[in-house]
Amino acid sequence: MNAMVPDGFTTVVHAAGGLVWRKGAGGLELLLVRRARYGEEWSLPKGKLKAGESWEQGAIRETEEETGCRVELLDFAGGQVYKAGGRPKAVLYWHMKCLGKGPSPDPDEIVERIWISPSEALARLTYPREQRMLEEILAEGAPRL
């Protein structure tokens, strides 16, 4: 049954993404992306769910599309709710392990990717809500790969 949305209300945008981890020479590294349409914004990979797609399926698809990594879904990492373009948006994230190279991201969407330490990621992330989520994750202990 489809619920009717009353006049004056908007539907919530559902999105999902990942914190993609790998073991680097200096320890754990996290993958951040820079999108073409947002200039110098550095963020975690994420995107809107497709119709009929589960949160987990969307998280894997969007993360692989934006990072160029094949990923393995690990534990749930957290979520955020905020307004984007005047509409409420809910984003759920999972920890993911990079398994290797996948298809290259669309250069019209993703212009740069960078593997950096978690502390460098905290400094580089553009959005305070993503910084806070990563701070909480690191305070609890980084995921085991």
What does the pLDDT look like over 14-58, one tens digit per residue?
999 999 999 999 999 999 999 877 678 999 999 999 999 999 999
Q: What is the pLDDT of residue 1?
A: 41
* Domains of the chain in sequence order: 13-140 (3.90.79.10)
Q: What is the pLDDT of residue 107?
A: 82
Alpha carbons 91 and 55: distance in angstroms, whole number: 9
Which of 40, 78, 48 lies closest to 32 in space, CA to CA? 40
Q: What is the pLDDT of residue 104?
A: 86
Instruction: With 0.75 as the threshold, say if the pTM is over it.
Output: yes
